[in-house]
Protein backbone atom coordinates (compact mmCIF):
# COMPACT_ATOMS: atom_id res chain seq x y z
CA UNK A 1 0.00 0.00 0.00
CA UNK A 2 1.35 3.44 -0.81
CA UNK A 3 1.55 6.05 1.90
CA UNK A 4 -1.35 8.47 1.79
CA UNK A 5 -0.74 12.19 1.51
CA UNK A 6 -1.70 14.00 4.76
CA UNK A 7 -4.35 15.91 2.80
CA UNK A 8 -6.29 12.81 1.79
CA UNK A 9 -8.29 12.59 -1.40
CA UNK A 10 -11.54 12.33 0.55
CA UNK A 11 -10.75 15.43 2.58
CA UNK A 12 -9.72 17.40 -0.49
CA UNK A 13 -13.02 16.54 -2.17
CA UNK A 14 -14.96 17.59 0.93
CA UNK A 15 -13.13 20.90 1.07
CA UNK A 16 -13.66 21.61 -2.63
CA UNK A 17 -17.41 21.20 -2.13
CA UNK A 18 -17.53 23.62 0.82
CA UNK A 19 -19.03 27.04 -0.02
CA UNK A 20 -15.97 28.53 1.69
CA UNK A 21 -13.43 26.62 -0.43
CA UNK A 22 -10.55 28.62 -1.94
CA UNK A 23 -7.89 27.39 -4.34
CA UNK A 24 -4.19 27.47 -3.43
CA UNK A 25 -2.31 29.45 -6.10
CA UNK A 26 1.25 29.34 -4.73
CA UNK A 27 3.27 27.81 -1.90
CA UNK A 28 6.79 28.67 -0.75
CA UNK A 29 8.80 26.99 1.98
CA UNK A 30 11.42 29.04 3.83
CA UNK A 31 12.71 26.65 6.47
CA UNK A 32 11.57 23.30 7.81
CA UNK A 33 9.28 25.22 10.14
CA UNK A 34 8.06 28.17 8.03
CA UNK A 35 6.12 28.54 4.78
CA UNK A 36 3.84 30.98 3.01
CA UNK A 37 1.01 30.36 0.58
CA UNK A 38 -1.46 32.28 -1.54
CA UNK A 39 -5.11 31.44 -2.23
CA UNK A 40 -7.91 32.87 -4.33
CA UNK A 41 -9.83 35.69 -2.68
CA UNK A 42 -13.62 35.44 -2.34
CA UNK A 43 -15.17 38.27 -4.38
CA UNK A 44 -17.19 39.38 -1.37
CA UNK A 45 -14.26 39.56 1.07
CA UNK A 46 -13.37 43.08 2.19
CA UNK A 47 -10.87 43.51 5.02
CA UNK A 48 -8.64 46.09 6.65
CA UNK A 49 -4.91 45.45 6.32
CA UNK A 50 -3.72 43.76 9.54
CA UNK A 51 -6.88 41.72 10.17
CA UNK A 52 -7.16 37.93 10.44
CA UNK A 53 -9.59 35.27 9.21
CA UNK A 54 -10.25 31.64 10.09
CA UNK A 55 -8.76 29.16 7.64
CA UNK A 56 -8.42 25.40 7.70
CA UNK A 57 -8.90 21.96 6.23
CA UNK A 58 -11.45 19.21 6.72
CA UNK A 59 -10.57 17.11 9.78
CA UNK A 60 -10.52 13.31 9.70
CA UNK A 61 -13.82 13.37 11.60
CA UNK A 62 -15.42 15.24 8.69
CA UNK A 63 -15.54 18.51 10.63
CA UNK A 64 -13.58 21.59 9.54
CA UNK A 65 -10.35 22.14 11.49
CA UNK A 66 -9.95 25.92 11.60
CA UNK A 67 -7.38 28.34 13.04
CA UNK A 68 -7.00 32.13 13.06
CA UNK A 69 -4.50 33.39 10.49
CA UNK A 70 -3.46 36.98 9.87
CA UNK A 71 -3.87 37.97 6.25
CA UNK A 72 -0.35 38.84 5.10
CA UNK A 73 -1.41 40.43 1.81
CA UNK A 74 -2.68 44.02 1.60
CA UNK A 75 -6.36 44.81 1.11
CA UNK A 76 -5.88 45.78 -2.56
CA UNK A 77 -4.38 42.41 -3.57
CA UNK A 78 -6.62 40.16 -5.66
CA UNK A 79 -5.32 37.07 -3.85
CA UNK A 80 -4.80 36.34 -0.15
CA UNK A 81 -1.42 35.46 1.32
CA UNK A 82 -0.68 33.68 4.61
CA UNK A 83 2.56 33.05 6.49
CA UNK A 84 2.60 29.97 8.71
CA UNK A 85 4.64 27.84 11.02
CA UNK A 86 4.74 24.05 10.61
CA UNK A 87 4.21 22.18 13.85
CA UNK A 88 4.97 18.46 13.50
CA UNK A 89 2.14 17.45 15.83
CA UNK A 90 -0.03 20.53 15.24
CA UNK A 91 -3.54 19.36 14.29
CA UNK A 92 -3.79 21.82 11.38
CA UNK A 93 -0.25 22.84 10.40
CA UNK A 94 1.05 19.24 10.31
CA UNK A 95 -1.31 18.84 7.34
CA UNK A 96 -1.50 22.38 5.99
CA UNK A 97 2.26 22.35 5.35
CA UNK A 98 1.69 19.76 2.60
CA UNK A 99 -0.75 21.84 0.53
CA UNK A 100 0.16 22.40 -3.08
CA UNK A 101 -0.95 24.64 -5.90
CA UNK A 102 -4.44 23.60 -7.00
CA UNK A 103 -5.45 22.19 -3.58
CA UNK A 104 -8.39 23.68 -1.69
CA UNK A 105 -8.53 25.18 1.79
CA UNK A 106 -11.51 26.45 3.75
CA UNK A 107 -11.63 30.20 4.42
CA UNK A 108 -14.36 31.86 6.47
CA UNK A 109 -14.72 35.34 4.99
CA UNK A 110 -15.21 37.19 8.31
CA UNK A 111 -12.14 39.34 8.94
CA UNK A 112 -11.52 40.73 12.45
CA UNK A 113 -8.61 42.06 14.47
CA UNK A 114 -7.05 44.93 16.35
CA UNK A 115 -3.81 45.46 14.37
CA UNK A 116 -5.53 48.09 12.24
CA UNK A 117 -5.04 51.80 11.73
CA UNK A 118 -8.52 52.49 13.11
CA UNK A 119 -7.42 51.30 16.58
CA UNK A 120 -4.59 53.85 16.83
CA UNK A 121 -4.82 57.60 17.35
CA UNK A 122 -2.76 59.67 14.88
CA UNK A 123 0.96 59.93 15.56
CA UNK A 124 4.33 60.65 13.98
CA UNK A 125 6.10 57.29 14.10
CA UNK A 126 4.65 53.79 13.80
CA UNK A 127 6.57 50.92 15.42
CA UNK A 128 5.71 47.39 14.28
CA UNK A 129 7.20 44.87 16.75
CA UNK A 130 7.13 41.20 15.74
CA UNK A 131 8.63 37.80 16.47
CA UNK A 132 8.39 34.71 14.25
CA UNK A 133 5.20 34.50 12.17
CA UNK A 134 3.97 37.59 14.02
CA UNK A 135 5.41 39.42 11.02
CA UNK A 136 2.38 38.37 8.92
CA UNK A 137 -0.06 41.21 9.71
CA UNK A 138 2.78 43.68 9.15
CA UNK A 139 3.42 42.19 5.70
CA UNK A 140 -0.13 43.35 4.98
CA UNK A 141 0.20 46.79 6.60
CA UNK A 142 3.58 47.48 4.97
CA UNK A 143 2.04 46.96 1.53
CA UNK A 144 -0.85 49.29 2.30
CA UNK A 145 -0.26 52.91 1.17
CA UNK A 146 -2.35 54.13 4.13
CA UNK A 147 0.48 53.13 6.48
CA UNK A 148 2.83 55.61 4.82
CA UNK A 149 0.18 58.30 4.41
CA UNK A 150 -0.59 58.23 8.14
CA UNK A 151 2.95 58.25 9.54
CA UNK A 152 6.16 60.16 8.90
CA UNK A 153 8.20 57.08 9.70
CA UNK A 154 7.48 53.36 9.97
CA UNK A 155 9.89 51.06 11.83
CA UNK A 156 9.40 47.30 11.64
CA UNK A 157 11.35 45.06 13.99
CA UNK A 158 11.47 41.30 13.52
CA UNK A 159 13.14 38.95 15.98
CA UNK A 160 13.71 35.28 15.22
CA UNK A 161 15.97 32.60 16.57
CA UNK A 162 17.85 32.03 13.29
CA UNK A 163 18.82 34.08 10.23
CA UNK A 164 16.83 31.95 7.74
CA UNK A 165 13.66 32.72 9.71
CA UNK A 166 14.06 36.38 8.79
CA UNK A 167 13.86 35.71 5.03
CA UNK A 168 10.14 36.28 4.53
CA UNK A 169 10.24 39.66 6.32
CA UNK A 170 13.47 40.81 4.69
CA UNK A 171 12.21 40.04 1.19
CA UNK A 172 8.90 41.72 1.95
CA UNK A 173 10.61 44.95 3.05
CA UNK A 174 12.83 44.82 -0.06
CA UNK A 175 9.77 44.34 -2.26
CA UNK A 176 8.04 47.35 -0.68
CA UNK A 177 11.12 49.49 -1.25
CA UNK A 178 11.25 48.47 -4.90
CA UNK A 179 7.50 48.74 -5.60
CA UNK A 180 6.80 51.73 -7.84
CA UNK A 181 3.62 52.95 -6.15
CA UNK A 182 4.87 52.46 -2.60
CA UNK A 183 8.26 53.97 -3.46
CA UNK A 184 6.49 57.11 -4.54
CA UNK A 185 4.56 57.26 -1.28
CA UNK A 186 7.60 56.58 0.84
CA UNK A 187 9.49 59.15 -1.26
CA UNK A 188 12.40 58.29 -3.56
CA UNK A 189 14.63 60.64 -1.59
CA UNK A 190 13.38 59.32 1.69
CA UNK A 191 13.31 55.53 1.54
CA UNK A 192 14.50 55.67 5.17
CA UNK A 193 10.89 56.44 6.01
CA UNK A 194 10.58 52.65 6.18
CA UNK A 195 13.12 51.25 8.63
CA UNK A 196 13.73 47.51 8.97
CA UNK A 197 15.36 46.26 12.18
CA UNK A 198 15.89 42.47 12.18
CA UNK A 199 17.49 40.69 15.12
CA UNK A 200 18.31 37.07 15.93
CA UNK A 201 18.60 35.51 19.36
CA UNK A 202 20.36 32.18 18.72
CA UNK A 203 22.22 32.23 15.41
CA UNK A 204 24.95 34.81 14.87
CA UNK A 205 23.83 37.84 12.80
CA UNK A 206 24.74 41.54 12.50
CA UNK A 207 22.23 42.43 15.25
CA UNK A 208 21.55 40.03 18.05
CA UNK A 209 19.20 40.12 21.02
CA UNK A 210 15.56 40.13 22.02
CA UNK A 211 13.92 43.40 20.98
CA UNK A 212 12.58 43.81 24.52
CA UNK A 213 16.15 43.81 25.79
CA UNK A 214 17.24 46.28 23.09
CA UNK A 215 14.40 48.61 24.10
CA UNK A 216 15.31 48.35 27.77
CA UNK A 217 19.00 49.05 27.28
CA UNK A 218 18.30 51.80 24.73
CA UNK A 219 20.26 50.12 21.92
CA UNK A 220 17.29 50.12 19.53
CA UNK A 221 17.03 53.89 19.76
CA UNK A 222 20.74 54.65 19.61
CA UNK A 223 21.15 52.28 16.62
CA UNK A 224 18.41 54.16 14.74
CA UNK A 225 19.24 57.63 16.02
CA UNK A 226 15.74 58.03 17.42
CA UNK A 227 14.47 59.27 20.78
CA UNK A 228 12.92 56.78 23.25
CA UNK A 229 9.22 55.91 22.96
CA UNK A 230 7.00 58.89 23.67
CA UNK A 231 3.18 58.82 23.83
CA UNK A 232 3.07 62.21 22.11
CA UNK A 233 4.69 60.91 18.92
CA UNK A 234 4.96 57.11 18.90
CA UNK A 235 2.38 54.48 18.04
CA UNK A 236 2.97 50.72 18.10
CA UNK A 237 1.54 47.46 16.87
CA UNK A 238 2.75 44.22 18.45
CA UNK A 239 2.44 40.64 17.18
CA UNK A 240 4.28 37.62 18.54
CA UNK A 241 4.11 34.90 21.17
CA UNK A 242 2.09 35.46 24.33
CA UNK A 243 5.20 35.95 26.46
CA UNK A 244 6.64 38.43 23.96
CA UNK A 245 3.39 40.38 23.79
CA UNK A 246 3.18 40.66 27.58
CA UNK A 247 6.79 41.83 27.88
CA UNK A 248 6.46 44.46 25.13
CA UNK A 249 3.13 45.63 26.55
CA UNK A 250 4.78 46.29 29.91
CA UNK A 251 7.55 48.31 28.21
CA UNK A 252 5.09 50.34 26.14
CA UNK A 253 2.95 51.09 29.18
CA UNK A 254 6.06 52.04 31.13
CA UNK A 255 6.78 54.57 28.38
CA UNK A 256 3.27 56.02 28.85
CA UNK A 257 1.51 54.48 25.82
CA UNK A 258 -2.01 53.10 26.34
CA UNK A 259 -3.51 50.02 24.67
CA UNK A 260 -6.18 50.81 22.06
CA UNK A 261 -9.03 48.93 20.44
CA UNK A 262 -11.30 49.42 17.44
CA UNK A 263 -13.91 50.99 19.71
CA UNK A 264 -11.38 53.00 21.71
CA UNK A 265 -8.26 53.95 19.71
CA UNK A 266 -5.09 54.73 21.68
CA UNK A 267 -1.31 54.50 21.27
CA UNK A 268 -0.66 50.79 20.81
CA UNK A 269 -2.39 47.55 19.85
CA UNK A 270 -1.46 43.91 20.38
CA UNK A 271 -2.38 40.56 18.88
CA UNK A 272 -1.08 37.05 19.45
CA UNK A 273 0.58 35.37 16.46
CA UNK A 274 -0.61 31.88 15.52
CA UNK A 275 0.95 29.47 18.00
CA UNK A 276 0.11 25.99 16.77
P1 LIG B 1 14.77 33.58 22.41
O2 LIG B 1 15.53 32.77 21.42
O3 LIG B 1 15.65 34.34 23.36
O4 LIG B 1 13.71 32.78 23.16
P5 LIG B 1 9.77 31.54 19.56
O6 LIG B 1 10.24 30.79 18.35
O7 LIG B 1 10.05 30.87 20.86
O8 LIG B 1 8.35 32.04 19.45
O9 LIG B 1 10.64 32.86 19.60
C10 LIG B 1 10.75 33.69 18.47
C11 LIG B 1 11.69 34.80 18.83
O12 LIG B 1 11.09 35.61 19.84
C13 LIG B 1 12.99 34.28 19.40
O14 LIG B 1 14.04 35.04 18.86
C15 LIG B 1 12.82 34.49 20.88
O16 LIG B 1 14.02 34.74 21.59
C17 LIG B 1 11.97 35.74 20.94
N18 LIG B 1 11.19 35.80 22.17
C19 LIG B 1 10.50 34.80 22.75
N20 LIG B 1 9.91 35.21 23.88
C21 LIG B 1 10.22 36.50 24.03
C22 LIG B 1 9.94 37.48 25.02
N23 LIG B 1 9.18 37.20 26.09
N24 LIG B 1 10.44 38.73 24.86
C25 LIG B 1 11.21 39.01 23.79
N26 LIG B 1 11.52 38.13 22.82
C27 LIG B 1 11.06 36.89 22.94
CATH 3.40.47.10 fits 117-272, yes or no: no
Q: Ligand 1: distance of its center to the CA of 156 in Å?
A: 16
Topology at the third CATH level for domain 9-111: Elongation Factor Tu (Ef-tu); domain 3 (2.40.30)
Phi-psi region of 7 (alpha: psi -120 to 50; beta: other; left: phi over 0): beta
Ligand 1 nearest atom to the CA of residue 160, by list position: 14
Give, in degrees to the nearest 5, the angle at Cα 262 between 259 and 264.
55
Give ranges for CATH 2.40.30.10 in the chain: 9-111
Block means of pLDDT (10 residues each) for the chain, length 276 residues?
Answer: 44 69 97 97 95 94 93 96 95 95 96 96 98 98 94 97 98 93 76 92 98 98 97 98 97 98 97 76
Q: Which residues pair with 104 in a beta bridge?
A: 23
CB 143 within 8 A of CB 113: no
Q: Whose CA is nearest to atom 23 of ligand 1?
A: 244
Which one, of 65, 46, 83, 68, lies nearest residue 7 by Cα? 65
Return d(Cα 30, Cα 171) in angstroms, integer: 11
Q: Would the CB of 25 count as within 6 Å of ligand 1?
A: no
Q: Is 108 exposed, middle or buried (0-12, 13-18, 19+ CB in 10 A)?
A: middle
CA count, 13 A, side-chain hemisphere, 234 = 20
Three-class DSSP category at 218: coil
Strands (E), the chain: 21-31, 34-40, 52-58, 64-70, 79-85, 104-112, 125-131, 153-160, 194-200, 234-240, 268-272
Task: Choose among 163, 4, 165, 31: nearest CA to 97.
Answer: 31
Pocket test for ligand 1, best of 83, 87, 159, 219 (most atoms within 8 A of CB): 159
Radius of gyration of the chain (CA): 19
Collapsing DSSP to helix, strand or coil, 151 comes out as coil
Residue 2 Cα to ligand 1 middle (Å): 40
Return the ligand 1 atom nearest residue 132 CA: 10
Residue 93 near ligand 1, beta carbon < 6 Å: no
Write down the pLDDT at residue 11.
58
Pocket test for ligand 1, best of 32, 130, 131 (most atoms within 8 A of CB): 131
How far does the centroid of ligand 1 lie from the alpha carbon of residue 135, in Å? 13
Atom 8 in ligand 1: residue holding the nearest Cα: 241
Contact 171, 143 (CB under 8 A): no
From the CB of 131, is ligand 1 less than 6 Å away?
yes
CA distance 81 to 77: 9
pLDDT at 110: 95
Residues counted in the chain: 276
Question: What's the pTM?
Answer: 0.94
Instruction: State the Cα–Cα distance between residues 143 and 79, nearest whole angstrom.
Output: 13
- Would you say the CB of residue 244 lies under 6 angstroms from ligand 1? yes
Domain with CATH 3.40.50.80 in the chain: 117-272
Amino acid sequence: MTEQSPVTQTNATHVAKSPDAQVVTAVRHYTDSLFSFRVTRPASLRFRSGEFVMIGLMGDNGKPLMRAYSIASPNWDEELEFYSIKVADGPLTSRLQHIQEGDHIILRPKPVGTLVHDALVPGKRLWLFSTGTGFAPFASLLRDPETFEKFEQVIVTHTCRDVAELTYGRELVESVKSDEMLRELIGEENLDKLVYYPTTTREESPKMGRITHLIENGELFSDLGLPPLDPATDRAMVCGSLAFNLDIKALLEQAGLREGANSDPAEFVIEKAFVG
